[in-house]
């Protein structure tokens, strides 16, 4: 009933705007005032229930809050405006304007709504590139990710890492990573436990939608919480710093880079190391640009301990990320990490992760 009422309400507004032979609405502000103001308010903060005359969702989005208007790419906004709220698992109150607005008009109203956030320090959602399996992305995020790797050859073993990321402000993020590892011994029994927990801080330095580029730096402290004697940790605190860079390429393609250094507090217990990673991918969208996202990627990974005689480890990791929920805030990825050299002591690994962008809703939200 509420969906019918909302659609009827939007239709009346458009009829009023078009009556009397008025010209076609072209500016984003005009379209917003004709079609959106009835629910979202003249200031973009949402109308009170006493004014709209029907039961609204729990809260209307506040378009003046930069954290809400900058995170998602234009494609997400277009999908919701064109197909209505239910198309992305949001409220039925949001009607479909696919027949009332053409692409140019939808683009115009999106740009107007985005202008309600005047702070340009917030990076646009287009720069939030798909998360690779290993390469750290530059965009600050609110996510929880569980990554698991299973040895496909050699000694049987399973390792997992739970990562929690919390964004604050325009370009800051804190991160906690808790690793787990389980291995099969010669006695055919398994042992395992928690590894070295990492605490990190990311700072966004540069971003430009015009050039399609984003750059950030991160510092981490890896604490010796794992049992070194059982191979669960290094037994020493390690400070890690790295830079991350993302670049949008033509045809929905992208490339991401990460490079950094690991410095232990006691060089006698662990070696200093460097690492660099590259991820190249492309995103395909189902449903004429409105549906599920598929992002095949391939990563080239390298790391080296800065010890005389040590060789660089090279790995290649093809993978596929796919969105699971209609809201696209639950995603999964699967891939296989192949060692290119030094294969005697390193296993091929089957890897997968489950990602939850918790800012966009709960685990059970956005599926229907």
User: In the chain, what are the domains?
Assistant: 2-115 (1.10.760), 125-360 (2.40.160.40)
Tell me the whole-structure pTM to 2 decimals: 0.89
As a whole number of angstroms, the distance between CA 368 and CA 356 comes to 17
Instruction: Kindly state the tokens that stand for 292.
Output: 């599920």
Q: What is the band of 322 on the pLDDT scale with cuts at 50, 70, 90?
A: very high
The whole-number pLDDT of residue 52 equals 64
Which phi and psi (to 5°) does residue 284 adopt? Answer: -115, 140
Two tokens at 293?
Answer: 């996202």
Question: What's residue 54's pLDDT?
Answer: 59
pLDDT digit string, tens, across residues 328-345 = 999 999 999 999 998 888
Q: How confident is the model over 229-274, as pLDDT tens digits? A: 888 888 999 999 999 999 999 999 999 999 999 999 987 778 899 9
Distance from the Cα of residue 10 to its chain's centroid: 32
CB hemisphere CA count around 132 (13 angstroms): 29
Q: Output phi, psi for 149, to 5 deg.
A: -125, 130
What average pLDDT score do residues 97-124 get?
A: 92
């Amino acid at each position: 009933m509420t969906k019918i009422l909302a659609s009827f309400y939007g239709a009346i507004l458009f009829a009023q705007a078009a009556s009397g032979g008025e010209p076609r609405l072209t500016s984003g502000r005009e379209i917003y005032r004709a079609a959106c103001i009835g629910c979202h308010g003249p200031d973009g903060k949402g109308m009170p229930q006493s004014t709209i005359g029907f039961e609204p969702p729990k809260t209307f989005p506040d378009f003046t809050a930069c954290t809400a208007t900058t995170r998602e790419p234009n494609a997400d906004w277009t999908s919701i405006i064109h197909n209505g709220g239910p198309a992305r698992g949001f409220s039925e109150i949001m009607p479909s304007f696919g027949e009332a607005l053409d692409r140019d008009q939808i683009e115009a109203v999106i740009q107007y709504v985005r202008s309600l956030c005047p702070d340009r320090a917030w990076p646009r959602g287009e720069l939030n590139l798909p998360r690779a399996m290993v390469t750290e992305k530059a965009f600050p995020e609110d996510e929880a990710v569980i990554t698991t790797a299973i040895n496909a050859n050699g000694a049987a073993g399973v390792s997992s890492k739970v990562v929690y990321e919390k964004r604050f402000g325009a370009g800051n993020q804190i991160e906690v990573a808790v690793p787990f590892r389980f291995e099969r011994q010669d006695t055919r029994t398994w042992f395992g436990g928690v590894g070295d927990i990492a605490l990190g801080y990311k700072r966004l330095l540069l971003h430009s939608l015009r050039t399609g580029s984003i750059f950030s730096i991160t510092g981490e402290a890896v604490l010796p919480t794992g049992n070194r004697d059982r191979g669960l940790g290094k037994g020493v605190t390690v400070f890690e710093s790295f830079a991350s860079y993302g670049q949008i390429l033509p045809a929905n393609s992208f490339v991401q880079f990460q490079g950094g250094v690991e410095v232990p507090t006691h060089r006698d217990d662990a070696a200093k190391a460097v690492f660099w990673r590259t991820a190249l991918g492309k995103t395909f969208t189902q449903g004429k640009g409105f549906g599920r996202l598929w992002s095949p990627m391939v990563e080239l990974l390298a790391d080296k301990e800065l010890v005389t005689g040590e060789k660089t480890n090279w790995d290649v990791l093809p993978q596929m990320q796919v969105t699971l929920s209609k809201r696209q805030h639950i995603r999964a990825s699967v891939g296989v990490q192949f060692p290119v050299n030094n294969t005697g002591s390193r296993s091929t690994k089957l890897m997968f992760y489950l990602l939850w962008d918790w800012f966009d809703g709960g685990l059970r939200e956005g599926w229907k």
